């Protein structure tokens, strides 16, 4: 245990010895408190975004709201990058260039939260299907927090120097938006950042920020698989090759990759999220379509799992006498999120001083995935990504007491996902502003 006296002496000692190189979090706290905009305004911005969600690649209204906000502040705004992506640049003397990223897209999920500002929106998706749409992943909180942070940092401009970039990214859910922005010449339009920072709301107690150095979110690969059999009458299986039975063997056997082939202790997840074949009970169909999703943490395990997947699918088809090879098509893919060690350690200690050690948790190694890293790895600069809590404190404590966090707290992508507005927004605004100021002062 450290006594306050020792802390005081060492703080003074450090100030004398090292001069003014590291900003003190107390100073940054003062800057944030002096310049944080009125939260009730951002509460209405949030409710408005929440009730008007837009699917990936269709975020035109959301992008419009963010662009207008940045223009009004005097940022130089570049719109329509990689679809509806946009970036606002604010130059304030020489110094580091820091990029803050928020994703904008929503999901094809019917919101069932019962909130007064719940979404009732519908959109025609990229397959031409009319879908309910909601912000079940909380990207509306990210957009709101970054808009408020832009206002805060703009207002505090006499306290920092360098270049601030606020980037609003489309199409995160398909893992395509960051790459689309880079491919569309993002870094020919705006300065290359020295550091990329981003954050995500998550189903833990509101007021908490969670960080982790090194790998913190998995790589993800998705596949369409078509298994070909020979259809026929359900009463005469001897004249057919039944693709439903082959698919069943495939689905069960794929799980043995994780339990029997991957080394215990390594992380791998294989999910078959969709199986479709046939339409009636007495007809054996010609083919079955599967959709697979795979999460891994290292390139070695990734190659191993993908090779085993291919081997098992092909071999099961052959074992059943299928006359045509299955077709395996990669659909979307996300890279591993591997937070820079030095950068993340600096942020974690700034968050600990600011929010209190009790409110800074370890992110752990999530099997969720993100494409934020592409904004950094495409130009070889470090990045750090953290989570902030969105669950009402009483609900959280109650679920923890009952030992039922996973069943009582709706997670991202649940139709019941409903972040409590405060202190969630304030935590997200303060966290991303503090992170930027840590490297701009
Ligand atoms: C940043 O902008 C503010 C306000 O315009 C100004 O006071 C400050 O000197 C600027 N900093 C630098 C380094 O240009
Ligand atoms: C995967 O299958 C879906 C239909 O189930 C189709 O819309 C999509 O285009 C396919 N993707 C690829 C890359 O083949
Ligand atoms: C929600 O998203 C965050 C960040 O992507 C992730 O860490 C977390 O695991 C997700 N939660 C669920 C339930 O998917
Ligand atoms: Zn999501
Ligand atoms: Zn998300």
- Taking residues 223-227, what's their average pLDDT? 98
What backbone torsions phi and psi does residue 20 show, to the nearest 5 degrees? -115, 40
pLDDT tens, position by position, 174-222: 999 999 999 999 999 999 999 999 999 999 999 999 999 999 999 999 9
Task: Enumerate the H helices of 156-206 as residue ranges.
Answer: 177-183, 186-189
Strands (E), 309-432: 327-334, 337-339, 360-362, 383-391
Rounded to 5°, the CA angle 370-371-377 comes to 125
- What is the predicted pLDDT for the residue at 21? 52
The CA-atom distances, in angstroms, between 17 and each of 2, 3, 22, 79 are 21, 21, 12, 46
**Residues 177 and 250 occupy one common structural domain:** no
Which residue owns the Cα nearest ligand 1 atom 4?
Answer: 158
- Report the relative pairing of strands 214-217 and 337-339 from DSSP bridges: antiparallel
Q: Is the separation of the CB atoms in 385 and 216 below 8 Å?
A: yes
Annotated binding site: 137, 139, 173, 200
pLDDT of residue 7: 35
190 and 324 co-located in one domain: no
- 189 CB near ligand 1 (under 6 Å): no
Q: Say yes or no: 206 and 343 in one domain.
A: yes
pLDDT at 368 over 50: yes
Q: Where does ligand 2 bind, in terms of residues with CB under 6 Å?
A: 127, 224, 289, 329, 331
Number of domains in the chain: 2
pLDDT of residue 1 exceeding 70, the answer is no
Domain presence at residue 389: yes
In a domain? residue 174? yes
379 and 404: one domain?
Answer: yes
The answer to whether residues 59 and 132 belong to one domain is: yes
pLDDT for 114 beyond 80? yes
Q: Please, which residues have CB within 8 angstroms of residue 109's CB and are 6 or more apart in sequence?
A: 132, 133, 134, 136, 413, 415
- Could you tell me if residue 2 is inside a domain? no
Q: Both 126 and 260 in a single domain?
A: no
Residue 89 belongs to a domain: yes
User: Does 8 score more than 50 pLDDT?
Assistant: no
Band (379; pLDDT cuts 50, 70, 90): very high
Residue 39 forms part of a structural domain = yes
**Same-domain check for residues 173 and 295:** no
β 287-296/85-92 pair status: unpaired
Q: Are residues 27 and 92 in the same domain?
A: yes
Last residue of a domain, one of 292, 317, 334: 334
**What's the length of the chain?**
441
Predicted pLDDT at 154: 98
Question: Which residues, including other chains, have CB under 8 Å from residue 417's CB and lie 6 or more apart?
Answer: 113, 136, 137, 138, 203, 410, 411
261 within a domain of the structure (yes/no):
yes
Q: Can you give the pLDDT at residue 17?
A: 35
What mean pLDDT, rounded, does the chain reach?
A: 94
CATH number at residue 311: 3.30.70.360
- How far does the centroid of ligand 2 lie from the alpha carbon of residue 224, in Å? 6
The residue from 278, 312, 334 where one domain ends is 334
254 and 372 together in one domain = no
pLDDT for 22: 57
163 and 294 in a single domain? The answer is no
**Which of 313, 334, 355 delimits the end of a domain?**
334
SS3 content of the chain, % helix, strand, coil (to 5): 40, 25, 30
Protein residue whose Cα sits closest to atom 2 of ligand 2: 224
- CATH classification of the domain holding 436: 3.40.630.10
Of 31, 91, 158, 160, which is best to mutate to test ligand 1, by the most ligand atoms within 8 angstroms of its C-beta?
158
Residue 384: what pLDDT? Answer: 98
Q: Which residues belong to the annotated binding site for Mn(2+)? A: 137, 139, 173, 200
Kindly report the protein residue whose alpha carbon is nearest to atom 3 of ligand 2. Answer: 224
By C-alpha distance, which of 82, 172, 167, 100 is closest to 136? 172
If asked whether residues 306 and 402 sit together in one domain, one would say: no
Residues 6+ apart with CB under 8 A from 217: 336, 337, 365, 366, 367, 368, 369, 370, 385
Ligand number, closest to the Cα atom of 210: 3
- Same domain for 126 and 144? yes
Residue 20: pLDDT above 70? no
Helix (H, G, I), strand (E, B) or coil at 409: coil
CA distance 178 to 194: 17
Percent of all residues in the chain with a pLDDT value above 90, rounded to a whole number: 95
| 57: pLDDT strictly greater than 60 | yes
Q: Give the model's pLDDT for residue 190.
A: 98
Atom of ligand 2 nearest to the CA of 274: 5
User: Which among 140, 184, 191 is positioned nearest to 164, based on CA atoms?
Assistant: 191
How far is the centre of ligand 5, averaged over its atoms, from the C-alpha of 232 (Å)? Answer: 44
Domain that holds residue 63: 7-216+337-440
Task: Read off the pLDDT of each residue in 124-132 and give the average, rounded to a whole number.
Answer: 96
**What's the 329 CA to ligand 5 centre distance in angstroms?**
24
**Which letter does DSSP use for residue 241 in this model?**
B
d(Cα 217, Cα 368) in Å, to the nearest integer? Answer: 6
**Is the distance from the beta carbon of residue 391 to the nearest atom of ligand 3 less than 6 Å?**
no
**Mean pLDDT of all residues in 235-248:** 98
Is 138 within the bounds of a domain? yes
Helix axis angle for 25-35 and 139-155, nearest 10°, is: 100
> Does residue 1 belong to any structural domain of this protein?
no
Q: Please state the rounded mean pLDDT for residues 254-281.
A: 97
For residue 296, what are the contacts with CB-CB under 8 A and spacing of at least 6?
218, 219, 221, 267, 268, 269, 302, 305
């Amino acid at each position: 245990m450290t006594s306050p006296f020792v802390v005081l002496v060492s703080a003074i000692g450090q100030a004398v010895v090292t001069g003014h190189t590291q900003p003190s979090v107390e100073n940054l706290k003062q800057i944030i408190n002096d310049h944080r905009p009125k939260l009730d305004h951002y509460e209405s911005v949030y409710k408005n975004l929440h009730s008007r969600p837009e699917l990936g690649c269709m975020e035109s209204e959301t992008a419009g709201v963010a662009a207008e906000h940045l223009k009004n502040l005097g940022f130089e705004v570049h719109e329509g990058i990689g679809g509806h992506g946009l970036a606002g640049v604010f130059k304030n003397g020489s110094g580091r260039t820091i990029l803050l990223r928020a994703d904008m897209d929503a999901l094809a999920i019917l919101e069932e939260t019962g909130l007064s500002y719940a979404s009732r929106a519908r959109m025609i998706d990229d397959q031409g299907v009319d879908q309910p749409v909601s912000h079940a992943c909380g990207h509306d909180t990210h957009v709101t927090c970054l808009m408020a942070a832009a206002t805060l940092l703009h207002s505090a401009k006499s306290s920092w120097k360098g270049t601030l970039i606020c980037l609003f990214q489309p199409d995160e859910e398909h893992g395509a938006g960051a790459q689309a922005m880079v491919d569309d010449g993002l870094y020919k339009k705006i300065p290359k950042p020295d550091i990329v920072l981003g954050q995500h709301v998550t189903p833990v107690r509101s007021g908490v920020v969670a960080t982790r150095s090194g790998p913190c979110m998995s790589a993800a690969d998705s596949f369409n698989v078509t298994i070909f059999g020979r259809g026929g009458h359900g009463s005469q299986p001897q004249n057919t090759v039944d693709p439903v039975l082959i698919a069943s063997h495939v689905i069960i056997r794929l799980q043995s990759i994780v339990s029997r082939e991957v080394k215990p202790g390594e992380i791998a997840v294989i999910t078959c999220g969709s199986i479709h074949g046939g339409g009636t009970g007495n007809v054996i169909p010609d083919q079955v379509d599967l959709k697979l999703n795979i999460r891994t943490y290292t390139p070695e395990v990734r190659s191993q799992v993908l090779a085993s997947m291919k081997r098992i699918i092909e071999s099961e088809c052959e074992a059943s006498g299928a006359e045509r090879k299955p077709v395996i098509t990669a659909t979307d893919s996300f890279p591993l999120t591997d937070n820079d060690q030095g950068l993340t350690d600096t942020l974690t200690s700034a968050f600990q001083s600011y929010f209190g050690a009790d409110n800074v948790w370890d992110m752990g190694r999530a099997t969720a995935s993100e494409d934020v890293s592409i904004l950094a790895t495409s130009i070889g600069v470090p990045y750090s990504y953290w989570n902030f809590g969105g669950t009402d404190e009483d609900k959280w404590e109650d679920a923890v007491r009952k030992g039922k966090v996973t069943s009582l707290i709706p997670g991202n992508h649940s139709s019941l996902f409903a972040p409590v507005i405060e202190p969630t927004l304030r935590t997200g605004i303060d966290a991303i502003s503090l992170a930027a100021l840590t490297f701009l002062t």
